[in-house]
Structure 1
Amino acid sequence: MHSLNDRVFLVSGAASGMGKAISKRFLSEGAKVVGFSLEKTCDIIHPSFEYMSGDVTNLQDCMRAVETTVEKFGKLDGLVNSAGITREGTLETMSMETFRQTFEINVYGTFAMCKASIGELKKQPSTIVNISSNMAVKAIPERVSYNASKAAVNMMTECIALDYAPRVRANTVMPGIVDTPMIQKRIRESEDPQKMLDLYAGFYPLKRIGTVKDIVEAVLYLSCDASAWITGIHLPVCGGDK
């Protein structure tokens, strides 16, 4: 058990996917959570959960999310940045607009959330966990904007860890391919879904793709006292892939 009793977290991307699963897991460990996403609504119903809609690329929205958190729960103990996008393409096939959009959400959005939160976070021992990707350290074809944006998130996190130690611990989690609705859709729409799933699983020594639970547990670990002497790391959760 990694207790988060009475701790208050702000989670971006909380209306769906990994961010939603992280929010629910934190609530189960006794945390109070404010979810923040572009979606207008979120179907998490819990007395210790508050939701607000907003854009991570808009600093004013991010600041409003922090203000809502403090008004509702009195403090902010941790931030999880789960909002992000992936886009495919090479130098020749990707537009400048798409490249810029990837960085706008994955890098600027993470920076804006951290910037808006740091004043409250440094008031007490606290944590930041940024969701990066194994592609930050291992390039794959036709993902030039995504790979580069996640590498930027890694270095940003290291800088935050140095600048705000010992009060704030900052780390990343680097997932491999995870069984999310986006991946399920890609598998389902392929010519041979089973072949595609086997291909993905074959990338990893553990011979399966990740589950959302795999990632959630890593985020939980880096957000609780069990990781109290860990900061500035990039935790690969990718089935042994190097």
Structure 2
Amino acid sequence: MVTEEGDGLAGRTVIVTGAGTGMGRAVSELLLARGAHVAAVGRREAALRELAAGAWGERVEVIAADITRPGAAEDVVAAATARFGTVHGLVNNAGLARFAPLEAASDDDFERLLATNVRAPAALIRAALPHLRREQGAVVNVSSVGGVLAMPGRSFYGAGKAALNSLTRSLARELAPEVRVNAVLPGPVDTPMWDDMGLDAEGSDALRSGLLAATPLGRFGRPGEVAGWVCGLLDPHFSGWITGALIPVDGGRTS
């Protein structure tokens, strides 16, 4: 958001996980368009290199990493600060979705959900905290409406996102006033994650149809529609008095 004080993101450094595709890519591109530096984190280096090959490449640091690996959070922050000197913002966007009824859900999937959607964001916040405190920075966690809605057949996923919501609100109080912590809760958004849910084509089609029918605005969201809210919550000029917020960006799904 550009205000009379100028763009509050210009010159700031933001770590974005899951930056290669989908919402993370949209967030990264909007940050770069607004003058920020982006430490782009993801498992697929080729997609990150595509981002760095664009018009803003000199302001992109590519960090190919599995954020669930022990020590990954510290490595990511070290790489970002080695390139840009500090960290002003963190977007915990990387996520994993696995849907199954309780009888068919695997313990391994549950562990992977928790590792990606809860433990890794917490580890990254902790690793970046000295910089975020010094810079009066901000964290935005990309959660889901699944963390606030009852979702039969998706209970493990919803439990992980509910934990991320609780982490957001608790850390907003714990880290105030130096660091703001908020979350956006997207509804169904068209991203490549739909191809990585462990569902067959019939199951994926049925899921999409059900979500569409339950969304009052009658369509899936676009990554850029979520990115605008993420960047707004990072911008100290626009949202400097907002912390602990869980903001649905969901086409009315939670209304």
Q: Which residue is equivalent to 1:235?
A: 247
- The separation in 2 between residues aligned to 1:138 and 1:112, in whole angstroms, is 26
Tell me the secondary structure at the aligned position of residue 34 of structure 1: strand
How far apart, CA to CA, are the structure 2 residues paired with 1:144 and 1:103?
A: 12
Q: Identity over the aligned pairs, expressed in percent?
A: 34
The CA RMSD measured in Å over matched residues stands at: 2.2
SS in 1 for 2:181: strand
Aligned partner of 2:145 among 134, 148, 155: 134
CA distance in 2, matches of 1:192, 1:154: 26
- Unaligned runs of 5+ residues in structure 2 are none
Q: Output the CA distance in 2 between the equivalents of 1:17 and 1:125.
A: 28
**How does the TM-score come out when normalised to structure 2?**
0.88
CA deviations over 1:90-129 (Å, ceiling 9, x no partner): 2211111111111111111111111111111111211000
Higher relative contact order (CA 8 A, sep 6+): 2
- Runs of 4+, deviation exceeding 4 Å: 184-188, 190-193, 195-199
**Contact conserved, 2:45 with 2:62, CA < 8 A, in 1?**
no
Provide TM-score, normalisation by structure 1.
0.92
Partner of 1:30: 35
Distance 1:239 1:66, change over 3 A: same
When residues 196 and 64 of structure 1 are mapped into structure 2, their CA distance, relative to the original with a 3 A threshold, is: closer
- Structure 1 CA distance, aligned partners of 2:24 and 2:183? 14
Equivalent position SS for 1:58 = coil
Q: 1:229: how far off?
A: 0.7
TM-fit CA distance, 1:71: 1.4
Partners in 2 of 1:230 and 1:213 — Cα distance? 21
Mapped contact 1:59–1:113 kept (Cα < 8 A): no
Please state if 1:164 is matched with 2:169: no
Amino acid at match of 1:40: E
Partner of 2:225: 214
Q: How many residue pairs were aligned?
A: 241
Q: Look up the equivalent residue of 2:35 and give its one-letter code.
A: G
Could you say which residue in structure 1 is the equivalent of 2:81? 70
